Every structure is written in structure tokens, then in C-alpha cells.
Amino acid sequence: MKIGEPLARKEDFRLLTGTGRFSDDFQLEGQVYAAMVRSPHAHARIRKISIENAKAALGVFTGADCAADGLAPIDHTPMPSTNFDMKLTAPAGRQLFYGPHFLLPTDKARHVGEAVAMVVARTQAEALDAAELVEIDYQPITGAAPVWDEVPDNVLIDTTFGDPEATERAFAAAAHVVRMDFHVPRVTACALEPRAALGDYRDGRYTLWAPSGGAVRQKRDLATVLGVDQGQVRVITADVGGNFGSRNRAYVEYGLVLWAARRLGRPVRFTASRAESLISDYQGRDLVMDIELALDAQGRFLALRASNVSNVGAHCVSLSPLSKGSGLITGPYHIPAATLRSRAVFSNTAPTNPYRSSGRPEITFALERLVDNAARELGFDRIELRRRNLVPPHAMPYRNAVGMTYDSGTYEANLDLALRLADWSGFPARRDGALRRGRRLGIGLASYVESSIGSPKERAEVSVLAEGRVRVVIGTQSSGQGHETSFAQVLSHLLSVPVEAVEIIVGDTDVVSAGGGSHSGRSMRHAATLFSIAAKALIEKAARLASFLFEAPAIFRDGRFRTGERSFDFLELAAAAERALLPKELQGALAVVANHEMHEPVFPNGCAICECEVDPQTGAVALTRYAAVDDVGRCINPLIVHGQTHGGIAQGVGQALGELCAADAAGQPLAGTLMDYALPRAADLPSFRCEIVEVLSPTNPFGIKAGGEGGTTPAPAAVANALVDALAEFGVRDIALPATAHAIWRAIHRR
């Protein structure tokens, strides 16, 4: 099997026939159930917790109990760690302060839905009933009180990037300046499998079963919380029913069920309800942005000036969205000078975390809306304005105005291909047809560039076994991306073994000793690099083994070890070695361990075009066409990449048209069920026209960039640009996200 072939996913039969292994599929004898008592207040002091009425429960645990047992806060290590990440800093004169994330608070509740106590009972129903009986005396905090006393203005990060002097000179000399303000609001992952955890403690070891984006990281973080050696903690993540970044960091419930299991001497299970997940999962986006663009008389971009404010919520779990967005502030355009002020602020809301395409959709939305608006205000054609300013291929590698260096890309060719896929030239006729039906048809586009960096270290152990299998242990694990197939496809290509012979083992820290997990589009790039290293070492070791068995020098050619007329493939060689009496130096020759550290980012890129129809009487929107072009570098499996693109588009469209973690002025969430939180459905989306572009990255052996997030990155901007185009005759210059039917109707009627 070669790379680049659309091989059907190996894992789908298991997942579609109900034989997957998700959190609730793991059951332990004698297990009991935990329920969380959650704060109804966005900000309140905890004066007293009374548990007398809940005495029938097996245990009621509070922050005071956690403190008495010396449980540490979760060390989220929010700052991105690779050499090329944008370096964020605290405001001048301050130390970095992230807001310690204890399993249960002792002083205050800092957002609605924060767990303030845990009840454990014999059944889930009994636990939920007992949780209702826990009485908490809150003292609500109103007004503009700081979330943390250590940060009185709530600003934990304040960093300026770029060249302010050059930017000011360019703006002073500009023929035109356009400016817009945006808020890309908060959304949540809504994983099909709600948050869950099963904890056990026996023989001095803790074991956790939980969905995660990286079991190795969870093991490390939980060992720190519990104050034990990492060898005393085992984390098992099997199949994961949705992630998108929301499960890459540990949750308080993970530590709580382990701790309670030790205290009670019984396994403890927690499964969140959908309502709990909607208010207490780590959420995404929530960026406020002011942005200005300076242009010359011919429409050349001269400089960009921007301010980003990222809402991290009550605890700083990750600064990756702010860092990644900061590095891509100029997008795919050549903008000679730029200045960006990037800030992160605490608020009395659930923490935010990297969410699919962490930080890039927000930046792309602001920049592409600004470019579209510049074309309308200044009389430029929106295609030609973009074409005039896109970074050309001959400029690669291209260092942008804030210091990020793009590896490769053909941005104008992507634009041209997207225009053909979308039949841009045929749009006027389709618009006229819609007008005759009383509808307004709009078309919008968005070019994008994103970065894929992620945790820099990864490890793989590859063994060719006598029974005819290739066993692979690796730390990056799937949460639905098809790794069992695509990883096997790479090794099949490198070792000339059947795909079905390759077994990928992930997610059990008693087997997987190291690895960065799945996030930031890193998985295939890291895995393929490791497999290239491992394959080279395996071939060298196997050639020596084959030479011993043949009693003549052997070479690896066309997938076989050959000498004269005799030859073995890898699987035949493993079987022959099993039967032979080998010298000590050749024993274990068909097993290698590969470690690699990769800091260089790659920069997937592309263009999306959306066409949508608006009913001006109701504001209802119907997407009629959607085209996407994505440069993913080397594409290992186009079937899987297209599937990722389709899902990513749906996610971005959902954010554009309906999804919103709304809250009122007092911090009360207004989206507590899926009746309130509007996920996109299949009927809301047209068939997509997608093309994969393969401009290889020079940073890794296969030239891989990433293919899991590009569908999401430009989608909100493309949809919004199409809507503003459709509504131009009504004087609509901008539309806030999400562009619901009600919001569009109000914009049309100026209400």
C-alpha cells in the first residue's frame, strides 16, 4: 500500500458496529458514582459548606478536604513550549500568574458550573440526589471585582509584537486606512461522548480511564496533583468520542475520582450530563480584536495595526490560541510592517482552551472581513485586491512582519483553483435567479494560512513479530482522525508490509512511555517522521539479520531482503529468525525505538468560497455552495483528509451561523442544553467541493503539513463575507457572529 491512496479506514467497522471502547464501556466491580455540586454563581465567596443532610452518601468531599490531603493544583503549563512559538509575557513589572486550578476551591467560586464539592454514592441517582442536599452558604460578589486578587485588573498577558515605528511611518504615508472591530465569541466542542472518568486505586497505584488527547500528559499532570511518582499513575484512553482540543488538558474530575477511589477503597466513576458539559467543559475562541490596515493608492498593503484580547476564563488553561493567532496576524498577505498588542484576561467564565485550529479562525475572520470591507469601501475588486497582496511562491520561505516564517505555499494558485471549483464566474446568473424568487444570494471567500507546531517531542516503538504483525507503540493518539489506518499506511509504504499487518497501540501509559498526544495538526507529521527514522534503523538491522540467515550479504530492494535468488520480506524474515539460533548481537534485531524532537512549524494554507441565500422576510440562511482548497503538504490518505475537511467546514459554519456559549451580564450561561446551543445538522449544509493541494514542506521527510484543521480556519470568514455580500443592498456593512436568522433580520430592518 502506497501513501496517497484513499484507503478505507480500518477502525470504522469496530466503531460503527458498537464494539468501540469508550469511557462508559469500562466497568469495575464494586464501582461507585460521583456527582459534582456546582456553583450557581459566576463569582461568590464560599463561606460554609454543610454536608449533614447528605450523610447517607458514601462520601462528601470539599476543597478543605483536598487541601488537608495536600492535593496540588493542575499544572496546565499554559505557555506554548516550542522554540518558534510567539513568546507571550506578563504586563510590565509583574510575574506570570495563571490562577491555580485546584480540584475544588476553598475560597471562591469563579464561574457558574465550577465544581465546589463532590458527592460519592452507590448509584448515580443516589449521588445526584445527595448532591442536592449539600448546602453551601455563598456570598455573591458583584461589580468589577478581580477574578484573582493577584491580578487586580484581570490582565495576565500583555505583549507587543512587530515594529511600532515602521508601522506608524507606513500609516502616516498611506493613501487609505480601513479599520474594524470584531468579537469572535465563545463556542464549545459538544463532544458526542460527554466528559467522563473512572478512577481506581489498588496496590499503591492509581488507574484512570478517561477520554483525552494525550494519555502521557494526563499521567504527568495527575501525578503532580496527587503528589506521587509518575510510576504510581496509569492512564488509559481507548476510543474517544470527540475532542477538538477540549480534552487535551486534565479536568478536575480526573483527579477527584482517583483521590476518592483511594479514600473510599472502591473504584469511582463520574459521567457528566450534557448540561454539565455545556457549562463546564473547556471552551473555545472568545477573542476581541481591533484591526487597521494601511494601503497605498494602488491597493498595496503597507502596514497592519491590531489589538487582540483573549478571554481565558477563570483559570488560564492554555495560551496557545493567543500565541498562534499572534504569529499569523498578517495571514497569507505580504504586509511589510505590523504591530500587534496581544493580551489575555481573566473573567468569571469557564476556562478556554485550544479548539480546532486554535487561534487561527479568529485571526482569519478579522483579517478577511477587513480585506473584504477595504475592497468595498475603496472601490477595489475583492479578488484582485487579494491577488495583488498574496505572498508569492518565490518569496518562500517567507518571514512575516511579526517574525513567523512560512515554509511553503502557492497562495494565488489556491485562490484560482477555489474560484474554478466555486464557479465564481457563474455567480451573477445564480444571483439573478435567486432575486426572482425573492431571495438575496451572496458569495464570499477567505484565504488563510495556519501554523501547526504542537508538543515538540514524540516517540515510537516498532517491532516486526514472528506471527506476521508489525507492532507500533506511539504517544500521539486518535480522537477520531483515523490514525489506525493512516499510520499503518505510512509503515506499509516504508516497510513493504500489508496495511492489515500493522497494529497501532496508543493510549495506555503502561505501554506508551512518551509522546505529545494529538493536537495542533501534529500527529501525522510527527508519526511519519518517527516511522522514517524507525524504518531506516529497522532495514539496517534486518539486513544484517538476513545476511546471517542467508550466509551472504543481503540488500533491501523492492520491499525484500535479497541475496542471489533467495529473498525475504519483513514478515518472512521475522518468522525465519524465530526458528533460527541467533547470536546475541542479532537477537531482537527487528525492534527499534525512535525518539524525535521537532520544533519547526509548518504552515497549511488554502482558500474557501461560500455561497449563501438569505430570505429577507425572515432572515433565514441557506448555504447553497461551498468550495475549499487546502494545501496539506504530502497527503497520506486523501479519503481521510477529505473527511477531516468536511467535518472542519461543518464546525466553522456552525460557529458562523448558530453556535454560541452565551451568558448574561451576571455570568449566567444561557446555552444549557442542545435546544439552546445550535449545532449544525446535515440538512444545513450543501455538498462540498474540495480539492487537496500538495506543496511539500521542507521541514520533515515526507513534506507533511497538516490536514485536520484547514476546513475550520476560513469557514467563519467565508460565510460572513457571503452574508455581507448578500445583504449589501440593505446597507449592511458587517454582521456579528453567530449570524442567526434573527440577527440577520434585525440587520436588514435596522432594528
Q: In terms of Cα–Cα distance, which of 262, 177, 198 is closest to 227? A: 262
| Amino acid at residue number 513 | S
Is a pLDDT exceeding 90 seen at residue 480?
no
C-alpha cell at 93: 513589572
Give exposure, 269-307, as e/b (b: 16+ Cβ within 10 Å): bbbbeebbbbbbbbbbbbbbbebbbbbeeebbbbbbbbb
pLDDT digits (tens, 9 = 90+) for 206-249: 999 999 989 999 999 999 999 999 999 999 999 999 899 899 99
Rounded Cα gap, residues 292 and 325, in angstroms: 16
Largest CA distance in the chain: 87
Q: Is the distance from CB of 225 to CB of 217 less than 8 angstroms?
A: no
Is a pLDDT exceeding 70 seen at residue 325?
yes
Amino acid 453: pLDDT: 86
Strand boundaries in 425-535, DSSP class E: 440-449, 457-465, 469-474, 502-505
For cell 497562495, the residue is 411
pLDDT digits (tens, 9 = 90+) for 173-188: 999 999 999 999 999 9
Rounded Cα gap, residues 219 and 235, in angstroms: 6
Q: Distance between alpha carbon 496 and the CA centroid of its chain, in Å?
A: 33
pTM assigned to the model: 0.95
Instruction: Name the phi and psi angles at 504, rounded to 5.
Output: -100, 125
Residue 82 pLDDT grade (very low, low, confident, very high; cuts 50, 70, 90): confident
What sign does the dihedral 725-730-732-737 (CA atoms) show?
A: negative
Query: Mean pLDDT across the stretch 603-626?
Result: 97
Mean pLDDT of the chain: 95
Give the chain's count of helices (H) and strands (E).
Answer: 18, 28
Residue 5 pLDDT grade (very low, low, confident, very high; cuts 50, 70, 90): very high
Query: Mean pLDDT across the stretch 496-502?
Result: 94
C-alpha cell at 557: 530492494
Q: Compute the C-alpha angle 354/273/183, nearest 5°.
A: 35
* Rg over CA atoms, the chain: 27
Query: Mean pLDDT across the stretch 539-546?
Result: 94
| Amino acid at residue number 276 | E
**Which H or E run includes 491?**
helix 483-495
Amino acid 589: pLDDT: 82
Q: Is the distance from CB of 722 to CB of 613 less than 8 angstroms?
A: no
In sequence order, the β-bridge partners of residue 610 are 444, 626
Query: Mean pLDDT across the stretch 122-147?
Result: 96
Rounded Cα gap, residues 132 and 119, in angstroms: 10
End-to-end CA distance of the chain: 60
Query: Mean pLDDT across the stretch 629-640?
Result: 96
Amino acid 283: pLDDT: 97
Q: Compute the C-alpha angle 44/94/342, nearest 5°.
A: 85
**Which H or E run includes 23?**
none
Q: Is the distance from CB of 253 to CB of 243 less than 8 angstroms?
A: no
Is a pLDDT exceeding 80 seen at residue 385?
yes
Q: Compute the C-alpha angle 527/528/531, nearest 5°.
A: 85
Query: Mean pLDDT across the stretch 452-457?
Result: 86
Rounded Cα gap, residues 432 and 423, in angstroms: 15
Q: Is the distance from CB of 748 to CB of 619 less than 8 angstroms?
A: yes
Residue 319 pLDDT grade (very low, low, confident, very high; cuts 50, 70, 90): very high
Amino acid 731: pLDDT: 94
Query: Mean pLDDT across the stretch 265-269?
Result: 98
Residue 479 pLDDT grade (very low, low, confident, very high; cuts 50, 70, 90): confident
Q: In terms of Cα–Cα distance, which of 287, 289, 284 is closest to 351? A: 284
Residue 520 pLDDT grade (very low, low, confident, very high; cuts 50, 70, 90): confident
% of the chain surpassing 90 pLDDT: 90
Rounded Cα gap, residues 31 and 127, in angstroms: 13
What are the DSSP calls for 615-633, one per residue? Answer: -TTT--EEEEEEEEEEE-B
C-alpha cell at 437: 424568487
Rounded Cα gap, residues 381 and 389, in angstroms: 13
Amino acid 1: pLDDT: 64
Is a pLDDT exceeding 80 seen at residue 751?
no
Rounded Cα gap, residues 304 and 523, in angstroms: 33
pLDDT digits (tens, 9 = 90+) for 351-361: 999 999 999 99
Is a pLDDT exceeding 90 seen at residue 407?
yes
Q: Is the distance from CB of 3 to CB of 634 less than 8 angstroms?
A: yes
Amino acid 750: pLDDT: 83
Q: Is the distance from CB of 226 to CB of 259 less than 8 angstroms?
A: yes
91 prior amide bond cis, ω within 30: no
Q: Distance between alpha carbon 414 and the CA centroid of its chain, in Å?
A: 24
Query: Dihedral angle at the C-alpha atoms of 144, 147, 152, 153, nearest 10 degrees?
Result: -60
